[in-house]
Amino acid sequence: MTYVATPPSTDSTAKRARETLDRAVGRLLDLQLPSGAWKGELETNVTMDAEDMMLRVFLGIDTAETREQTARWIRSQQRADGTWATFAGGPGDLSTTVEAWIALRMAGDKPAAEHMVSAREFIVSAGGLAETRVFTRIWCALFGWWDWTDLPAMPPELMYLGKRLPLNIYSWGCWARQTIVPLTVVCTLRPKRRMKWDLAQLRVECRGSEAELRVECRGSAAEEVYRDQVYRDQVYRDQRSGAGVSIRGSFLTATQPAEAFFNRLDKGLHIYHRHAIGPVRRNALRRAAEWIIARQEADGGWGGIQPPWVYSILALHALGYPLDHPVLKAAIDGLEGFVITEDTPDGPVRRLEACQSPVWDTGLALNALLDAGVDPRDPALRRAADWLIDEQITAPGDWVEQRPKVPPGGWAFEYANGNYPDTDDSAIIVMGLARVITTRGPVQEQAVSRGTAWTAGMQSKDGGWGAFDADNTSNWPAKLPFCDFGAVTDPPSADVTAHVVEMLAAVGRSRGARCKRGVQWLLDHQESDGSWFGRWGANHVYGTGVVVPALIAAGVDPGAGSIRAAVHWLEDHQNTDGGWGEDLRSYDDPAWIGRGDSTPSQTAWALMALVAAGELGTSLQRGMDHLAETQLPEGSWAEDRFTGTGFPGDFYIAYHLYRLIFPVWALGRATQALRGGEQGNRPSLSLTAKATS
């Protein structure tokens, strides 16, 4: 059948949207850095700040100033109930609250202070230290508050495992392997710096009742952590496949044999630790150290993210590297580049970004401005394109373990992360570079060609794309009691696959075999309600908002059942104020899927899908009106909710530029479509066109 698009909205709606867009474009251009890049703050939660303080105290490099400013920031983020959460508006989180309490205690806050008492009461009611995640208990062990022998074992002998064996380091996602390798060193050498105070107040005693035994008796703690992690992973898979989450009880029963096996394995590894063969262990530690040092980035860090950076410092220090060693000096100095300081009415505060996203922000901004109608020859877009071209990674990284024949040419998320380009950034950047017109034609053409080849070549065997690696789908790592810190592998996801599919269509490869397999993967992974799961953004609104434009760009008929089902889902989940929102609790509780306070970024994602599907009527008009009504005078929007995802169920992000970039992108496509354009899926501009100036 031939699909007939909904009649366009009124001229007044289009005019208002254009005025809103013009203000937003002006604001976005104002925020461009002299380098040509854009960089918004990447906000997470106070574990970054607490662990930064604990690291500095452990190394003996903390100062009164850093303690005072960090503590002031942590206090400012405490909620009325005494807790700290992992995302704005979310529930109190036990591990986050414990780490914040410890950091404030290190800063000199008295345990009897009101804010410390309220935090302690929550911690105890939630089960105390025994119920915290493994990472929190590792920090406690570093200061003598937890017994190293009561932590799950992770030996450095993992470095001996070849890539064909289960649990080899390349079976983990890149962020996990970069964290696990240094932790094998830390947990083997077991360094300790005792404090003059303890955490007795944060423990729950065993008194014999079933509930108390559950939360404190040490034999059950790891098992409970493991069961929760296995369940979360199964929920994640079920949400992507549409299976739902009603099978919790039967699933846990079915996994009991596997759980028993991995608990026995953990006990065996603890025994091996006590009787490790000296030369074998020493060589394993040496291999781990060499692996870590070889992956240190130009900015002194590892992977451009906080966990491997911090644990690599601890590992090398435990191995005897002095703090003035060039590797450690560069690492510690480099952390300062992730620090944000600002003045507040209570005094200056200091907080640490978990990561920085300039390449991602710049790629998104470039595409948004192009779709908003900014001239592809505009000097601002040329500067952005030049900066991105220079950021392309043309050397191999860890991804070659799975794709040794694929030539390099991707882009990373951060300023410095040469070992780990990702397909999501690369797809977005190729789409932008394929359309902007610079004075570097041949160089630009080569960058687009290399980027396309690398990104396409990272396709997994099932037809989808993961973010950093191909076929990184092993079930083994998540089964270990050690792994309770979020996603530990990098399987294909709908949002990343959609961006790659849209990129392939943008460069004229929609009829190619890779694009067709990607389209089929997306169709096969549509949820039963018509939406798509969002791995790197919250959540089904993001997944659906990304997938629909990709499918249309790749040639799927807007009248196809998959597209109609997605449109119906979006329309059914539009809020009464005209916007869209989805609370991050949807990753754990299906009742929240598609529900939440409206945000500008999530509203924009929904609008981009509606425009691509040819839905230019009431829902689109209400969404555009919502953005117009909530726009701030300076041209941006307020967004007090987190809409980015690090690890579903565990770690979330507020990208401060999302609230501006995505409305620009959505309004640009919408106003173009209302004028009778191509609904946001514009063909690539010829790179052979030469700039005239």
d(C-alpha 605, C-alpha 441), whole Å: 32
Angle (nearest 5°) at CA 206 between 200 and 210: 140
Cα Dmax for the chain:
81
In the DSSP assignment, the letter for residue 332 is H
Strands 651-655 and 347-352: unpaired
**Set 62, 424, 583, 625: catalytic member:** 424
Angle (nearest 5°) at CA 239 between 602 and 414: 50
Residue with tokens 């063909």, as numbered in its chain: 683
d(C-alpha 452, C-alpha 134), whole Å: 39
d(C-alpha 175, C-alpha 604), whole Å: 29
Instruction: Tell me the torsion sign for CA atoms 675, 676, 681, 686.
Output: negative
Task: Identify the CA nearest to 287 among candidates 129, 480, 156, 102.
Answer: 156
* Cβ-contact 518, 530 below 8 angstroms: no
d(C-alpha 460, C-alpha 160), whole Å: 26
The amino acid occupying position 606 is A
Q: Is 677 exposed, middle or buried (0-12, 13-18, 19+ CB in 10 A)?
A: middle
Entry field: residues in the chain = 693
| Inter-helix orientation angle 358-371/658-674, to 10° | 20
Task: Identify the CA nearest to 239 among candidates 438, 631, 528, 547.
Answer: 528
**What phi, psi does 654 have (nearest 5°)?**
-110, 105
d(C-alpha 17, C-alpha 187), whole Å: 56
* Cβ-contact 395, 389 below 8 angstroms: no
d(C-alpha 104, C-alpha 102), whole Å: 5
In three-state secondary structure terms, 668 is helix
* Cβ-contact 149, 188 below 8 angstroms: no
Q: How far is CA 89 from the centre of its chain?
A: 18
* Cβ-contact 440, 386 below 8 angstroms: yes
Torsion from C-alpha of 443, 449, 454, 458, nearest 10 degrees: 160
* Cβ-contact 666, 607 below 8 angstroms: yes
425 is catalytic: no
Q: Is 327 exposed, middle or buried (0-12, 13-18, 19+ CB in 10 A)?
A: middle
Q: Residue 42 pairs with which residues in a beta bridge?
A: 655
* Cβ-contact 419, 303 below 8 angstroms: yes
Catalytic residues, which ones?
Answer: 424
